[in-house]
Amino acid sequence: MPSLKDLRNRISSVKATQKITKAMQMVAAAKLRRAQEAAEAARPYSQRMNAVIAKLAANLKGREGVSPFLAGTGREDVHLLVICTAERGLCGGFNANIAKLAASHADRLIREGKTVKMLCVGRKGHEALKRQYGDLMIDDPVDLKQVKRLRFTHAHEIADRLIRMFDAGEFDICTLFYSEFRSVISQKPTALQLIPARFEEEEPQETVETASGAPAAYTYEPDEAEILNDLLPRNVSVQVFRALLENAASEQGARMTAMDNATRNAGEMIGKLTLSYNRQRQAQITKELIEIISGAEAL
C-alpha cells in the first residue's frame, strides 16, 4: 500500500504529464490546420498534372519509344521502396503503420525472389525498419528534421535522386509509402507506384471533358512524346511533394488524436489516484481517532 506521500507525488507527476500532453495536442492542432491548408493548396497542381499526363499517355499508348517512366524498363526485378515517415514520435501508430505496410510489401517481394532496396525519408521509419532490413537500406534516411515548412524544393531533391538512380538502372519499379490524410482521426497508410507511373482515376473524367468541350485537336509544341518525356520526371517530384504534404497533415492528425487520448487517460488516472488518496487519508484519520479514544478509555 503506497503511503500518502507517495500518492501525492504520483498525482502531481501525472498532472505534469497531462499538462505536457495537453500542450502537445494543442500544438498539433495548430500545425494540423497549416499542414492541411498546404496539402489542399497543392492539390490543383497535382490533379492537373495528372490529367494532362493521363491524356498524353492515352494518346501515345502502345507506340514505340514511350518514356521508361511510363512504360517501365521491361523488367521488374529490382524494387525500390521509398518510405516516408515522420521525424518525431509520439503520434500514435502513425509511423508504425507505414513501416508495417512497407515491411509486409518488402517481405512479399523477397518471397517472390525480387531484389528489394529501401530508402527512408524521415528518421522514424528508418529506426523502425533498420533492425530487420538494415542491409537493404541504400543510404541514410533523408533528413527533414530542420525543415519548418515543406517546400517543393525538398520534394524535388528527393525526386531528382530517384530519377538519377532510375536512369542509372539501379531499380525497375519504385513504390512510395506514405500516409494518406482522410480526416483528423483516420489516416491510411498507402503504397503508390511512382515509377513507372500509373493512372487510374483520371481517365474517365478525361473522356467527359472532351465529349462536352470542343473537339480537342490540340497543337503540341514540341510533339506529344517530347512533352510527355518532359512532364513525367516532373510528375515524380509532384507526387513526392504530395505524399510529403499528406504525410505532414496525417502526422499532426495522428499526434492530435494520440495526445487527446493521453490527456484523457491522465485525467482518469488523476481521478483514481485522488480517490484512493482521499480514502487513505480518511482511514488514517479514523485510525488516529480510534487510537485517541481507546487511549482515553483505558485511563
Partner 1 sequence: MAEALKLELVSPEKELASRLVKQVVVPGTEGEFVAMPGHAPLLSTIKPGVLVISEISGQETRYFVRGGYAEMANDQLIVLAERAIPLKQLDAAEIEKEIRWAEEDLEDARDDEERRKLQERLDFLKQLKQALELGH
The residues annotated with a catalytic role in the active site are 91
Residue 120 CB, nearest approach to partner 1 (Å): 18
| Dihedral pair phi/psi, residue 295, rounded to 5° | -60, -40
Residue 128 CB, nearest approach to partner 1 (Å): 27
Scanning 85-93, 136-144, 212-220, 264-272 for contacts with partner 1 by CB under 8 A, the matching segment is 212-220
Q: In the complex with partner 1, which residue's Cβ is closer, 192 or 227?
A: 227
Cα(248)–Cα(235) distance, integer angstroms: 20
Which residue of 32, 42, 99, 101 would you call a contact of partner 1, by CB under 8 A? Answer: 42
Residue 134 CB, nearest approach to partner 1 (Å): 23
Which residue of 28, 35, 38, 98 would you call a contact of partner 1, by CB under 8 A? Answer: 38
User: Would you count residue 19 as binding partner 1 (CB under 8 A)?
Assistant: no
CB 132 within 8 Å of CB 103: yes
Q: Which residue has the cell 534516411?
A: 141
In this structure, the chain runs to a length of 299
Q: In the complex with partner 1, which residue's Cβ is closer, 52 or 110?
A: 52
* Inter-helix orientation angle 4-41/43-60, to 10°: 50
CB 10 within 8 Å of CB 2: yes
Residue 60 CB, nearest approach to partner 1 (Å): 13
Which residue of 77, 107, 226, 268 would you call a contact of partner 1, by CB under 8 A? Answer: 226
The cell for 265 is 487517460
Q: Sort 92 into a burial class: Cβ within 10 Å, 0-12 / 13-18 / 19+.
A: buried
Residue 72 backbone zone (phi > 0: left; psi -120 to 50: alpha; other: beta): left
Pairing of strands 173-183, 186-195: antiparallel
Which residue of 16, 19, 26, 45 would you call a contact of partner 1, by CB under 8 A? Answer: 45
How many chain residues bind partner 1 (CB under 8 A)? 32
User: Would you count residue 142 as binding partner 1 (CB under 8 A)?
Assistant: no
Which residue of 20, 110, 225, 227 would you call a contact of partner 1, by CB under 8 A? Answer: 227
Which residue of 1, 211, 217, 296 would you call a contact of partner 1, by CB under 8 A? Answer: 217
DSSP state for residue 141 in the 8-state scheme: P
Find, among 102, 90, 147, the residue nearest to 126 by Cα: 102
Residues making contact with partner 1 (CB under 8 A): 38, 41-42, 44-46, 48-49, 52, 56, 151-152, 155-157, 213-214, 216-222, 226-227, 230-231, 234, 237-238, 241
